[in-house]
Structure 1
């Protein structure tokens, strides 16, 4: 009888251990499922936030009237809007346009820009190079005064290089007198400055 009792007790203990093991497995499986569900929910929330940020960014870029290119988003500001002829002082209308850009930059602190100044081909190449550099620097200075960190802004001048229209008539020359602002993380046409860029750059738009 005592042997039978011991065997029964042993069997009950084994069954209890098996039940406890199954219970632990069930609880662990439930915990894993809950953790996975939380991961999926977190990933969904992150995706929703990123999608909303992207839509907001695209809307703001569209408001700036920037266009998407292989180089990134480019905002083109007419030179006649920003400057008087032969001058690098920014006009009031240009300051308003740059104010919109500064607001965009403040809202998107991860973004950097490259400012590129261009002229038509009237006058000497040296004078046009200097003027384009001064104009790019003037745009940069306005943005810095608006609170944008200098390290987020690069400014280069390219003189009469990279025309977007013919310089044979007034309308074409007006289009070539411009400032282009590249929005993104790229270094632009060159990272070394205006004169070196003009001499070493290759490839038109």
Structure 2
């Protein structure tokens, strides 16, 4: 358990799990947060002593505060956070959409990111650390009736605003904005699209930059 520490939300599968493995390979300690304890422990077991599995519902402010405290207690510091947890919608459009779905999605895609940042910034200030967020191409485009897209537009704005706030004390913020990624987000496999490992490599690239450089956005698109 040496080196810097990265905390990842939504770490039980897909982009989060791939990032945990890539960061560990690069020498980082990783704290893995999600609600699926068994999946987290399996991934942490594969990584080894440099991984900590923490069962956590990131829409619960107390749980995210406790998870960050556990991470700092276990590894000694917090150097970067990857706010990756998010979800889409079953029903599209606004007129025909489901407000209950919107409620749950906004709590995860928007409020949970804010809760994570609010809880993590005091620790990141100590290390002049970095906050990374999973955005989306959908947050850069106007998509007909898409509430999901609107939630990612929020992330696009938050990333730049947070970067300016953190810059005052030497911290950084990066928004990762991928196009279609082959994850469980989609019902069918997308083998020719971006892979979770592609996004993981982008996160590691961002957090491995020298102190003089802040990569504020990485926009990735599938090459097919």
TM-score, with length taken from structure 1: 0.38
TM-score by structure 2 length? 0.35
The structure whose Rg is larger is 1
